[in-house]
Chain A
């Protein structure tokens, strides 16, 4: 069965970077895009960007340009989202999700940014 399993919770200081992983299984990893979405506490969903797991090409929301890097390792069917220059308002649950129907989501990774 299709699964997306994300890395565990992180606590970071302002100005630091965080890298969240999303390990896919149960399907051909390179056949789909992986999207990243975040949700701050008590807030709505916010789309961050996508990575083409085949080509490695990416696209992200204007808000995150210059601060987010999305990569993948096809050998281990894993996508990564790296967010730099963290601020307190980056505290959120970060999700990965598979394209084409968005039927599969990771369980979410809580990133807390606090001094």
Chain B
């Protein structure tokens, strides 16, 4: 089974910009992996921010964006807010099976 890798933790200043990345043990992440990004706060169910690399839901704040960057999927947060402090999970598709990354704990400080 493929392994999906994320930074274990990142810190961003309020108002700052940070990029979370998502790599694959099988090689470059492409749009064919249909990258997803989920946000999870303590005690809550995950919430989907980005699907299919860069698509947003109606509830996704405009400050979040998804892309492919240097062979990885990327989630960029521009203008971080205190409420963005959370765990972020990447999720990739491999021929009808799916694998989560280990998550990135984002601190806004």
Q: What residues of chain A have their CB less than 8 Å away from a CB belonging to chain B?
A: 35, 37, 44-47, 50, 59, 61-63, 95, 101-103, 105-108
Q: How far is the CA of A5 from the CA of B42 in the complex (A)?
A: 20
Closest 5 CB pairs of A and B: A47-B98, A102-B48, A45-B100, A44-B103, A101-B51
The size class of the interface chain B forms with chain A is 20 to 34
Chain B neighbourhood of A102, CB < 8 A? 36, 38, 48, 51, 91
Q: What residues of chain B have their CB less than 8 Å away from a CB belonging to chain A?
A: 1, 36, 38, 40, 45-48, 51-52, 55, 57, 87, 89, 91, 96-103
A59/B46 in contact, CB under 8 A: no
How far apart are A17's CB and chain B's nearest CB, in angstroms? 23
Chain B residue nearest to A101 (CB atoms) is B51
A107/B1 in contact, CB under 8 A: no
Q: How far is the CA of A90 from the CA of B14 in the complex (A)?
A: 38
